[in-house]
């Protein structure tokens, strides 16, 4: 098996020599090539790389027409001749000594092997707690929004290996910010494994991912949700929810005005009928492709979701009122939070 190590670079001249030396030492038992994809760096990384290609099995691609980390990696895929592709950063935050472990995981049957900060044994060096919190929060959000990757602990890692077939002939979006996430959603694969590693400190130079990173990430998650059809589901779930409001109000009115029932008690069967209405339409429409659990289980967890949604709504409401927020606004926020909770419980459990 031939391995192609793809390294996107932008102003990484001062890291290049050590990087190549350590890769070549780690890969001495392998048939391999290194592909540096440089976006015409002002520090002339490409020029220095070309010089080093006399010493290492290295190909340098200097792009002048395009820019961006993801598109550089995609370009690397197109140029690579190996059976296994490894993607890594040039700044030595990704230890080259890990590459053989990733390749071994592929040899043992994985289609994608991720060097992961968030499996036991993995770590991040020198990050403040809030930096970790943001990273964890962003990943949690991605995993909740995209059920396909919910079992992956570090879907935004920039250090991973994959079989050529995973991405060959697949259209990857180059503005996609996190290339691994793009691959995990659109690629062709069965088995993913995560290998722990410590995300080290940058050797020289500075990070290019600053400022708008978080917004770009949210946009990417949103785009992938749309691509996956998860956004359509969310819209359908909303419409079904609105139909439930009509059912609830309609039956409440009928029970009180036509049958003369007690107003307080009449809302219990009216609510239950609305829940059944919502279940029916979600089962037949919103999640019709995901009816894997037996009917009784779907019904049960749907009710559990409704109940926990109501509870969450009330807790948020009580909390916000206690904090001095107007009770109608507090309730509105409670409704939105409850809605999200219900959608997620149903998406991941009822029709998970």
Footprint of ligand GDD (CB under 6 A): 8-10, 12, 37-39, 67-69, 72, 89-91, 93, 156, 158, 178, 207-209
Minimum distance, C-beta of residue 245 to Mn ion, in the bound complex (Å) = 49
Residue facing ligand GDD at closest CB distance = 158
Rule CB under 5 A: say whether 91 interacts with Mn ion. yes
Rule CB under 5 A: say whether 230 interacts with Mn ion. no
Write out the two tokens for 352: 């998970």
Owner of token pair 């996107």? 8
By beta-carbon proximity to ligand GDD, the closer residue of 143 and 347 is 143
By beta-carbon proximity to ligand GDD, the closer residue of 136 and 292 is 136
The listed partner (Mn ion, ligand GDD, none) that binds 316, CB under 5 to 8 Å by sort, is none
Give the C-alpha separation, 124 to 87, whole Å: 19
| Alpha helices for the chain (secondary structure H) | 13-26, 45-52, 69-79, 99-107, 129-145, 164-167, 179-186, 213-228, 230-253, 263-281, 295-322, 327-345
By beta-carbon proximity to ligand GDD, the closer residue of 140 and 280 is 140
Rule CB under 5 A: say whether 12 interacts with Mn ion. no
Minimum distance, C-beta of residue 90 to ligand GDD, in the bound complex (Å) = 4
Strand order in the sheet with 112-116: 58-62, 31-38, 2-9, 84-87, 160-163, 112-116, 192-196
Whether the CB-CB separation of 35 and 61 falls below 8 Å is answered with yes
Minimum distance, C-beta of residue 275 to ligand GDD, in the bound complex (Å) = 41
By beta-carbon proximity to ligand GDD, the closer residue of 211 and 294 is 211
Phi-psi region of 325 (alpha: psi -120 to 50; beta: other; left: phi over 0): beta
By beta-carbon proximity to ligand GDD, the closer residue of 70 and 301 is 70
The listed partner (ligand GDD, Mn ion, none) that binds 38, CB under 5 to 8 Å by sort, is ligand GDD
The listed partner (ligand GDD, Mn ion, none) that binds 156, CB under 5 to 8 Å by sort, is ligand GDD
Owner of token pair 């007690």? 262
Give the C-alpha separation, 184 to 99, whole Å: 19
């Amino acid at each position: 098996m031939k391995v192609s190590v793809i390294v996107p670079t932008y102003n990484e001249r001062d890291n290049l020599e050590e990087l190549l030396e350590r890769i070549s030492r780690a890969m001495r038992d392998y048939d391999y090539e290194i592909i540096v994809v440089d976006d015409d760096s002002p520090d002339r990384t490409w020029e220095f790389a070309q010089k080093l290609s006399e010493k290492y099995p290295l190909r340098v691609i200097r792009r002048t027409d395009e820019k961006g980390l993801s598109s550089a990696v995609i370009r690397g895929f197109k140029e690579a001749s190996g059976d296994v592709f490894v993607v890594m950063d040039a700044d030595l935050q990704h230890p080259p000594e890990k590459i053989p472990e990733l390749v071994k995981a592929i040899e043992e049957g994985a289609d994608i092997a991720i060097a992961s900060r968030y499996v036991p044994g993995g770590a991040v060096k020198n990050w403040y707690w809030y930096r970790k919190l943001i990273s964890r929060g962003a990943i949690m959000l991605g995993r909740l929004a995209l059920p396909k990757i919910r079992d992956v602990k570090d879907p935004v890692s920039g250090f991973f290996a994959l079989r050529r077939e995973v991405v060959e002939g697949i259209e990857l979006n180059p503005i996609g910010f996190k290339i691994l996430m793009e691959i995990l959603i659109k690629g062709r694969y069965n088995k993913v494994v995560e290998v722990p590693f410590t995300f080290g400190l940058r050797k020289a130079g500075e990070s290019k991912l600053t400022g708008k990173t978080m917004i770009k990430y949210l946009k990417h998650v949103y785009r992938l949700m749309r691509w996956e059809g998860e956004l359509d589901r969310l819209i359908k779930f909303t419409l079904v929810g609105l139909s439930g409001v009509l059912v609830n109000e309609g039956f409440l009115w009928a029970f009180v005005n036509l049958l003369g029932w007690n107003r307080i008690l009449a809302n219990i069967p009216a609510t239950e009928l609305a829940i059944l209405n919502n279940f029916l339409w979600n089962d037949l429409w919103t999640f019709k492709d995901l009816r894997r659990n037996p009917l009784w289980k779907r019904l049960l967890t749907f009710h559990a979701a409704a109940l926990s949604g109501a509870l969450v709504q009330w807790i948020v409401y009580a909390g916000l009122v206690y904090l001095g927020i107007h009770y109608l606004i507090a309730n509105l926020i409670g409704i939105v939070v409850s809605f999200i909770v219900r959608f997620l419980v149903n998406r991941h459990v009822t029709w998970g």
